[in-house]
Chains A and B, each alone.
Chain A
């Protein structure tokens, strides 16, 4: 199977320009949460968010990232999406990426729902033509009807989220990056949204999801990676609970 993402000795360091150099340069702090804080040769303070990550992801991989707050999960997602280029090491990514890390980025309160479909769609990496072709699907799924002609600031927060979700999940992507499983709207809509999200994941080659909910990872993923202090502590494959349940049912 083709390798779509490959990371070799990848490290990410955040320079901290406004921290007091003096108080931090003498010590290297290592605590239960957060990455490593270190002063480099030029006495600049930096936070090492990821350290020597080696990772190969193939088509079909469903990765669940878990670990403490500040263990580097979100940073790893951002590195994979290309936002943070690695400070050291190499990264190769093949395929179209959909990052569902913050689905409201690009949404503008003064613009109408229809305009926001374009705004959000462009941010997701779609062309105007692609957005136009998906317009009906997005409008229908969001169930916003006439409201799509109104400025988004008149929406309730749940409605805004619905719109952002409908656009963000309309894209076809090879690689889906997610920070926690998205849940939107009321109970009935949330069910529908979950189905759509699962459909999107199914159509993709790779899913990388950071989550604190064990149940989510057990159900969706087939590979689980535990992170701590910006390093990969363990990396194991397993049979997702949804598949196990299905095969048990078949055996009965």
Chain B
């Protein structure tokens, strides 16, 4: 196939779900083929991490477990989704080298395959959030449903950012560790392990000026029983717009070069 525009690449991706949905499903199946628990091993290790750290922090900083653990668990699981996707995005095209050199599939489909993969793993880990919110947190209400459009928005932003990362990392291999470091630093600078209200007033700008914190909140807040603020929504929509435009522009510049860069 020869695609004449970026629009065509995206349309071809959406009209051929077998390229990402089915292949992502096979990827997951293949990775955990001979394991009894399969992807639930990730859930278990995430649960152990959240349980241990949650108890440790709340004991160290004298936090209320009922309040802190749901915040930490939800934040961690959502962050896991973001970190997994961005980590994979660095090798988003290079890991499919043989396929890219064999057949011209629409480039956006490779990243959608990765996103589907990350999302499936996220769904497994989400069980932890369900357990923590039900038994330790405030339980569920109708507000929790707001997390669904929030998750959709977060996934769209994540998708475009990972497309940008994949393009840059394919051309400039030094970008791969740069992205990894950003993800690591992002974890500490985003209110996941800590809560905004436990920060001193003069340090709260760290969370206010961190767009990831707002994007995280459109999913996490509804799960904790609160509606996200208007700022949360506006920052997220802005991030969607900017990441979408940058991804569209970069793909337009790079799509005829990616096969040569690999």
Contacts and interface: CB of A to CB of B under 8 A. Distances in A.
A218 B59 CA distance: 82
Nearest to A106: B99
By size class, the interface of chain A is: 20 to 34
A83 B105 CA distance: 9
B33 interface: yes
B30 A108 contact: yes
A35 B196 CA distance: 61
A63 B99 CA distance: 25
B66 interface: no
Interface stretch (B16-24, B69-77, B242-250): B16-24
Interface residues of B, number: 23
A118 B30 CA distance: 14
Interface in B1-21: 1-2, 16, 18-19
A85 B29 CA distance: 34
A127 B23 CA distance: 12
Contacts, number: 66
Interface in A88-136: 91-93, 97, 99, 101-102, 105-106, 108, 110-111, 115, 118-119, 122-125, 127-128
A127 B30 contact: no
Given A15-B260, A110-B30, A122 B22 contact: yes
Given A81-B104, A99-B103, A105-B98, A122 B18 contact: yes
A106 B16 CA distance: 17
A111 B26 CA distance: 8
Contacts of B16: 127
B171 to A, nearest CB: 9
Contacts of A128: 18, 22
B103 A123 contact: yes
A196 interface: no
A132 B104 CA distance: 23
B259 interface: yes
Contacts of B2: 82, 85, 91-93
B98 A85 contact: no
Nearest to B172: A17
Given A105-B98, A110-B33, A127-B18, A83 B26 contact: no
Given A123-B99, A123-B102, A83 B259 contact: yes
Contacts of A108: 26, 30
Given A82-B1, A111-B30, A118-B22, A99 B259 contact: no
Contacts of B33: 110-111, 151
A82 B104 contact: yes
B18 A83 contact: no
B101 interface: yes
Given A93-B2, A105-B99, A122-B18, A84 B260 contact: yes
Contacts of B29: 111
Interface in B97-120: 98-104
Contacts of B26: 108, 111, 115, 118-119
A128 B22 CA distance: 9
* Max count, chain A CB within 10 A of own CB: residue among B1, B22, B103, B104: B103
Contacts of B256: 85
> A-B pairs with the 3 shortest C-beta distances?
A82-B104, A85-B256, A105-B102
